[in-house]
């Protein structure tokens, strides 16, 4: 019987650690958090020092019972959850929920899942860190107070279920403000001028130089005419080398990865989202089977520290010397500075647990994406311990017609250094700086081969990608390594932000929510204020600020904002909806009943709806600038209304399209748009029950189907064996005439998954839940 109980977070980590420990140890997994604040109530007693009430997380009762049973016979208990605030809090919650005996319960932590690291941790067991627990608990209570106090106000004013998060709202504000800059951006024309030149001595090597100065000032070439005025002079000018600067440039390696830089590099190089990156890194950290031995391949992946253990540096230096030579080693191991204001705990950087486990050796043990991420981490770490790269550089100034100076720059790699392992992105380095230039002497004449003017326009700032938004949050001190991926995921899951061509753009709903919060809760969405709150949480973790003191300092001003917001939020929502709305649009009356039109919001954007709804269903779609969206009436050929004989027209509501009678609102008859295929099948197919033919083509919530008017039976195409495509087991897949929300392709495959029905696009291969796709836009 095991005498010692070790509790970790994940089953994978438990499986790895159990192989390092003997028979005296039993390893159990808590499978993440086991307790949290109640899901449907505040759960925080503000009057009693912000005392939280915790409930057992749904589905974790069995886990707690197993831990309790194992603890009864244990002589020693070790809480071995992750080495950060979140892990410390999980360890505390497990101890509280399972009623672990504090006299035999100890906390151990390690930054890499290896046999040596676990052994050292056991030798250095300690008590739970109350300061770290309080810091995590304070963050959770802060988020709960903000979410539960603000969300109902937003939902009531918008007449739909909405939510507001503390840090997520700041991330949303960054995305919205960037979008506004893009919308307000006015491109400015400018021109550049390059000269292609050649030495007279040998006449072999041609190169380009850019116009650098005109009469000692920067060129002012705003229009084509500005360039034309000087082309004539330059075409006849004599070109002479006026200055040559030869030197060397050292290019130092970047530090090993931290969470944010790993997510950025994985996004740029591997096209992985932050969430995917962290999931793969978690797998590498918790352990991979290597020929019967289970080993953690990387150190803990939620960190903002660039510190590297001396023994890891020594191992890397030995590998570099053996593989590349002593000249690739710096004289002493490099030390990289960690941003003290952002560093949470004394973690290590993200690195391989052993530099000797090369990507080539590990590739056969990993899947494709795991191998790619491990390769990236290994290369960056090894490169960070290597010598700088060296370049010969040359800068040449060429004078033409006395008043004009052209400049050419070039470089030549003379020692690869760390670039032998890790080639960094050179996007910020101009192309002309990469050209090879011949050696020239001052006073040497050059031949002009051609002048090349080029028109340019200033560009708006790009939308954030997931990685660049995380980088911006980190630069402003907002969020922490353990929260970055969830922040980005939440604002997308709530429908406030969507991904367009790999970039984050706010939805109409997101912009209205952001504008409302900025108007009514200035501090909550202020970047500086949120960063200040993060700094205070750091002080709680360090024991320099008390839990209650920190929350009291926040709640007093926040409560005053809440009282004001009761009246201000509805006005702020109305104001946010009316942003950029022309005056003539605001004053429009319903053309059908004369009542006032009201601004409303759907998934498709803003629109005007009659205040007499549901008696009057008139709507007018608006574009992004708030102008009425002109729509041409399209009539369905050969389709007439069976109730009044009017023509049927195609009506679009968000992503939904259907046929409606032209005599609306007098006649409210509608029917779905049916594909030619279902109409043809209806004529050709007999009812399996009674043999009646033809059947009636229909369309319902789950797509097209056939209806027998005689025996009143409905038949899906799959049931009749008429569905297109093959399922995983060779069966038919039903195809439904619904447009893909991602690429517009139709029809879609209707499938049944673990979490219910969903649609799959055969064109772009993306899945969309049936609930999400079939929800009608708000009136």
Backbone angles phi, psi at 687, to 5 degrees: -65, 125
H-type alpha helices, 159-223: 166-184
Cross-strand bridge partners of residue 194? 210, 452
DSSP label at residue 367: -
Q: If we measure between CA atoms, which residue out of 656, 683, 684, 685 comes closest to residue 672?
A: 656
> How are beta strands 389-400 and 189-199 bridged, if at all?
unpaired
Among 45, 46, 54, 7, which residue's Cα sits nearest to residue 26? 7
Catalytic residue selected from 300, 422, 464, 496: 300
Give the angle subtended at the CA of 192 by the CAs of 190 and 198, to the nearest 5°. Answer: 175
Rounded to whole angstroms, the Cα distance separating 688 from 684 reads: 12
User: Residue 768 is encoded by which pair of tokens?
Assistant: 């969309």
Strand, coil or helix: 608: strand
End-to-end C-alpha distance for the chain, whole angstroms: 65
CA 515, 521, 524: angle at the middle one, nearest 5? 105
List phi, psi (to 5°) of 581.
Answer: -85, 120
Task: Specify the residue for token string 């005053």.
Answer: 560
Question: 352: helix, coil or strand?
Answer: strand
Alpha helices in 578-730 (DSSP H): 583-586, 676-684
Question: Rounded distance, CA 152 to CA 164, Å?
Answer: 9
Distance between CA 4 and CA 75 in Å, rounded? 6
Of 155, 13, 145, the residue nearest 83 (C-alpha): 13
The one-character DSSP state at 674 is P
Tokens representing 143 are 């988020």
Number of Cβ within 10 Å of residue 451's Cβ equals 15
Task: Tell me how far apart the alpha carbons of residues 132 and 111 are, in angstroms, rounded to a whole number.
Answer: 16
Catalytic residue status for 285: no
The string of DSSP codes covering 225-266 is HHHHHHHHHHHH--EEEEEEEEEEEEEPPPPPB-HHHHHHHH
Residue 442 to residue 246: CA distance in whole angstroms: 12
Cβ(255)–Cβ(405) under 8 Å?
Answer: no
Name the CA dihedral angle for 468, 470, 474, 477, rounded to a multiple of 10 degrees. Answer: 120
Q: What are phi and psi for residue 504, nearest 5 degrees? A: -90, 125
Q: Count of CB atoms within 10 A of residue 554's CB?
A: 21
Q: Tell me if 265 sits within 8 A of 463, measured CB to CB.
A: no
Contact 344, 85 (CB under 8 A): yes
User: What does the block give as tokens for 177?
Assistant: 């403000």
Sheet hosting strand 597-602, strand order edge to edge: 597-602, 605-610, 619-621
What is the rounded CA–CA span in Å between residue 297 and residue 287? 6
Contacts of 368 (CB under 8 A, 6+ apart): none
As given in the structure block, the two tokens for residue 599 are 């601004």
Catalytic residue set: 300
């Amino acid at each position: 019987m095991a005498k010692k109980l070790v509790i970790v977070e994940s089953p994978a980590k438990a499986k790895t650690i159990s192989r390092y420990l003997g028979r005296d140890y039993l390893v159990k997994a808590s499978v993440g958090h086991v307790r949290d604040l109640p899901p449907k109530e505040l759960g925080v007693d503000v009057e009693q020092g912000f005392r939280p009430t915790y409930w057992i997380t749904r589905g974790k009762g069995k886990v707690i019972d197993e831990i309790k049973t194992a603890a009864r016979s244990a002589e020693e208990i070790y809480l071995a959850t992750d080495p950060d605030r979140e892990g410390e809090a999980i360890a505390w919650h497990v101890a509280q929920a399972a009623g672990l005996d504090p006299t035999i319960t100890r906390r151990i932590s390690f930054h890499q899942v290896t046999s040596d690291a676990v052994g050292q941790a056991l030798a250095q067991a300690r008590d739970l860190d109350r300061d770290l627990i309080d810091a995590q608990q304070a963050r959770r209570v802060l988020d709960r107070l903000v979410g539960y106090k603000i969300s109902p106000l937003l939902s009531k004013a918008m007449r739909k279920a909405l939510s507001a998060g503390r840090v997520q709202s700041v991330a949303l504000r960054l995305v919205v403000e960037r979008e506004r800059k893009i919308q307000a951006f006015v491109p400015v024309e400018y021109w550049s001028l390059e000269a292609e030149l050649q030495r007279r001595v040998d006449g072999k090597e041609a190169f380009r130089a850019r116009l650098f100065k005109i009469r000692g000032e920067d060129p002012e070439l705003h229009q084509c005419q500005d360039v034309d005025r000087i082309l004539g002079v330059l075409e006849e000018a004599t070109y002479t080398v006026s200055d040559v600067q030869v030197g060397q440039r050292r290019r130092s390696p970047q530090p090993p990865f931290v969470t944010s830089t790993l997510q950025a590099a994985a996004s740029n190089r591997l096209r992985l989202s932050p969430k995917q990156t962290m999931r793969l890194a978690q797998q590498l950290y918790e352990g991979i089977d290597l020929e019967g031995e289970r080993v953690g391949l990387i150190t803990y992946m939620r960190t903002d520290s660039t510190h590297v253990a001396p023994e890891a540096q020594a191992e890397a230096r030995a590998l570099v010397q053996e593989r590349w030579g002593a000249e690739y080693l710096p004289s002493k191991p490099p030390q990289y500075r960690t941003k003290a204001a952002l560093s949470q705990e004394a973690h290590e950087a993200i690195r391989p647990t052993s530099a000797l486990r090369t990507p080539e050796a590990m590739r056969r043990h990993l899947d494709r994406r795991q191998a790619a991420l491990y390769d990236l981490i290994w290369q960056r770490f090894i490169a960070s311990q290597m010598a700088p790269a060296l370049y010969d550089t040359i800068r040449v100034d060429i004078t033409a017609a006395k008043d004009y100076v052209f400049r050419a720059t070039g470089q030549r790699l003379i020692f690869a250094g760390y670039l032998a392992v890790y080639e960094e992105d050179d996007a910020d380095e101009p192309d002309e700086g990469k050209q090879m230039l011949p050696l020239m002497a001052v006073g040497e004449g050059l031949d002009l081969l051609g002048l090349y003017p080029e028109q340019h326009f200033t560009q708006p700032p790009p939308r954030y990608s997931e990685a660049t938004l995380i980088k911006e949050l980190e630069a402003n001190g907002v969020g922490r390594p353990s929260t970055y991926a969830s922040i980005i995921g939440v604002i997308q899951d709530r429908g406030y932000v969507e991904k367009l061509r790999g970039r984050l753009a706010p939805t109409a709903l997101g912009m209205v929510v952001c504008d409302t919060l900025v108007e009514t809760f200035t501090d909550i969405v202020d970047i500086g204020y949120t960063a200040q709150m993060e700094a205070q949480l750091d002080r709680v973790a360090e024991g320099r600020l008390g839990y209650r003191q920190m929350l009291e300092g926040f709640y007093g001003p926040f409560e005053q904002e809440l009282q004001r917001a009761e009246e201000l939020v509805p006005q702020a929502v109305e104001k946010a909806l009316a942003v950029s709305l022309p005056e003539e649009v605001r004053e429009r009356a319903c053309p059908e009943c004369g009542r006032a039109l009201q601004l409303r919001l759907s998934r498709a954007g803003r629109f005007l709806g009659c205040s007499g709804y549901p008696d009057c269903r008139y709507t007018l779609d608006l574009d992004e600038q708030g102008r009425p969206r002109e729509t041409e009436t399209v009539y369905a050929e050969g389709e007439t209304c069976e109730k009044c004989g009017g023509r049927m027209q195609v009506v679009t509501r968000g992503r939904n399209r259907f046929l409606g009678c032209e005599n609306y609102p007098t006649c409210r008859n509608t029917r779905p748009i049916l594909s030619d295929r279902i109409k043809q099948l209806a004529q050709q197919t007999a009812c399996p029950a009674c043999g009646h033919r033809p059947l009636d083509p229909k369309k319902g919530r789950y797509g097209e189907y056939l209806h027998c008017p005689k025996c009143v039976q409905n038949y899906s195409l799959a049931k009749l064996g008429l569905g297109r495509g093959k399922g995983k087991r060779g069966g038919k897949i039903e195809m439904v005439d619904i447009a893909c929300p991602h690429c517009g392709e139709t029809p879609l495959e209707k499938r049944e998954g673990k979490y219910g029905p969903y649609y799959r696009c055969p064109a772009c291969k993306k899945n969309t839940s049936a609930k999400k796709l079939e929800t009608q836009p708000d009136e």
